[in-house]
């Protein structure tokens, strides 16, 4: 009889360590090209234009010196290098919303409460 959870552990151990979307992503590839050729400021501009403004701002804080010159990536702590790379890999998986109008609707119910506000919500929808 197998111990509880043993089969799942085996499946986890057999999963590949490399994720295919990491290698094929344009953001990661563009980042390493920018590191190699000294184009980090331009890369951060493209990142912001793509809709990842917070990631670009963090990149300015981490990857650029106060005068705007590119820092040597290897001068960052290993933890900071890992955090940046992992965040960039996650960033390339998601399409940011760049439109001026959002798709979320929220309601300020005020003192009415949900039960009294439901007819107004239904009418507005």
**The 3-state secondary structure of the chain, one letter per residue:** CCCCCHHHHHHHHHCCCCCHHHHHCHHHHHHHHHHHHCCHHHHHHHHHHCCCHHHHHHHHHHHECCCCCECCHHHCCHHHHHHHHHHHHHHCCCCCCCCCCCCCCCCCCHHHCHHHHHHHHHHHC
Worst-scoring range by mean pLDDT, 30-39, 83-92, 101-110?
101-110
For residue range 102-125, list pLDDT tens digits in order. Answer: 666 666 666 666 777 777 777 776
Q: Where are the domains of the chain?
A: 16-91
Please give the pLDDT value at position 43.
93
For residue range 46-62, list pLDDT tens digits in order. Answer: 988 888 888 999 999 99
Which of the four pLDDT bands, split at 50, 70 and 90, describes residue 75? Answer: very high
């Amino acid at each position: 009889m197998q111990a509880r959870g043993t089969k799942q552990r085996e499946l986890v151990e057999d999963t590949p360590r490399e994720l295919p979307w990491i290698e094929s992503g344009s953001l990661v590839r563009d980042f390493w090209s920018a590191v190699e050729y000294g184009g980090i400021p331009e890369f951060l501009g493209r990142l912001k234009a793509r809709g990842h403004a917070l990631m670009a701002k963090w990149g300015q804080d981490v990857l650029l010196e106060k005068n705007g010159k590119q820092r040597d990536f290897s001068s960052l702590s290993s933890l900071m290098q890992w955090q940046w790379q992992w965040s960039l890999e996650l960033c390339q998986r998601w399409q940011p919303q760049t439109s001026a109008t959002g798709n979320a609707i929220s309601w300020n119910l005020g003192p009415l409460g949900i039960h009294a506000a439901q007819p107004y919500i239904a009418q507005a929808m």
